Amino acid sequence: MSGNHGRTHDGFSIYWSVGIEEVLRQLQNVFQSLLSGSDYYIIRNTTPKEKNLNIYQKGNPHRVGQVWPKVRSQTMDFVFTVEEIDSLKTRVALPQDSDVKQEGRYPGLRRFKQVELSMGAEIIKALAVGSTSAFDHKRLLVIDMQNDFIDGALGTREAEAIIPAVIAKIRSYPSDKVFATMDTHEQDYLSTQEGRKLPVEHCVRGTNGWQLYPDIAALLSSNHIYEKPTFGSMRLAEDLAMIPDLEEIELIGLCTDICVVSNALLLKARMPEVQITVDASCCAGVTPEKHAAALETMRSCQVEVIG
């Protein structure tokens, strides 16, 4: 994948001189966006032997599909192998101008073995080298994905279960569009109002429980991480409000009924014309019941709940 090749399609041009890993990263952004709101997620694979996108379904440890570039001369197509998705068009919502060609047996719409996608206009726009147009006006906010809330002092099975989806969501955004918060308490936590109402030491600065979950920390930029002593981050809200032409902020993380809802409503109050979105599939509450109740509260306050 070297050189400066190009292809024109529906009025858009694509030139590529980047490596396959960068193409896969941008492809992942496209397909993760198309899969948003479903129970599928994509993980990029750039091992020495395989360079593709793997599709997974929540609750299923086995891969259910793959996407990988297929280069022919000065054109670039993508092979999409799907094993268990009922209908590629309805599940993945392909751009209408994508050319879908069957390769292999095709028993109705129940089971796709392999299809080939030529570049549609939306994919071309997302693949344009250096282009992040789909995210220019959007930011992702990762709330408190820290050890104590996952498998530590206040951890839950539900929090552990969302880790793959959270990782996939973060990877679906350009890294400079992702922000995160860290619940941060000091040694005197138990003497604070929160400590008296919730007398469980957690997220004390410098402890292992305070640290971000390692696989998630590796995906975040240190200068985009905000420590906060309470549920919501006023400083983060003010900083986000300074971004020109911001149209949407998406929130994921822990806990739905405490810090996620607090930040969502804080952001909504500070920026009433910016769409605030929460992906429920990337969140977990103190209990499943409180998770559901918090989602309903946010819906009532005109926060968009997806997933």
| Domain end marker among 60, 93, 127 | 127
Structure confidence by residue, pLDDT tens digits, 8-67: 322 222 233 345 565 566 566 656 655 566 666 667 776 766 667 776 767 766 666 666
266/247 same-domain check = yes
- Please tell me whether residues 155 and 238 are part of one structural domain: yes
Enter the DSSP assignment of 19. Answer: -
The last residue of a domain, from among 127, 151, 175: 127
Contact 159, 284 (CB under 8 A): yes
Distance, in Å, from the CA atom of 288 to the CA atom of 56, rounded to the nearest integer, reads 23
The verdict on 211 and 101 lying in the same domain is: no
Rounded Cα distance between 292 and 181, Å, is 22
Whichever domain contains 268, its CATH number is 3.40.50.850
Q: Which domain holds residue 157?
A: 133-306
Any idea what the Cα angle at residue 15 is, between residues 12 and 19, rounded to 5°? 135
145 and 275 together in one domain: yes
User: Looking at residue 146, what DSSP letter applies?
Assistant: B
Helix (H, G, I), strand (E, B) or coil at 290: helix
d(CA 269, CA 241): 11
| Whether residue 118 is found in the same domain as residue 141 | no
> Mean pLDDT across the chain, nearest whole number?
74
* Domain co-membership, 161 together with 271: yes
Residue type, position 164, single letter: P
Residues 177 and 204 in one domain: yes
What are phi and psi for residue 231, nearest 5 degrees?
-65, -50
| 69 phi/psi in degrees, rounded to 5 | -70, 150
- Tell me: do 202 and 289 sit in the same domain: yes
Structural domains counted in the chain:
2
Rg (CA), the chain: 21
Which of 74, 105, 127 finishes a domain? 127
Pairing of strands 115-118, 100-102: antiparallel
Residues 104 and 203 in one domain: no
Q: State yes or no: pLDDT of 276 exceeds 70.
A: yes
Same structural domain for residues 120 and 212? no
List b or e across 52-87, with b for residues whose CB sees 16 or more CB atoms inside 10 angstroms: bbbbbbeeeeeeebbbbbeeeeeebbbebbbeebee
Share of the chain above pLDDT 70, in %: 59
213 token code pair: 């979950």
On whether both 300 and 245 belong to a single domain, the answer is yes
Nearest CA-CA partner of 41 in 24, 64, 69: 64
Q: Of 8-17, 100-109, 125-134, 185-194, which one has max mean pLDDT? A: 185-194
DSSP SS3 for 36 = coil
Q: Are 291 and 285 in contact (CB under 8 A)?
A: yes
Write down the pTM of the prediction.
Answer: 0.62
The more confident residue out of 146 and 74 is 146
Query: Within this chain, do residues 66 and 185 fall inside the same structural domain, yes or no?
Result: no
> Helices (DSSP H) in the chain: which residue ranges?
20-34, 88-92, 121-127, 147-150, 157-161, 163-171, 193-197, 214-217, 234-241, 261-270, 288-300
Instruction: Give residue-wise pLDDT tens across range 230-258.
Output: 999 999 999 999 998 899 999 999 999 99
Residue 111 corresponds to which tokens in the numbers above?
Answer: 């089971």
Tell me, rounded to whole angstroms, the distance of Cα 212 from its chain centroid: 17
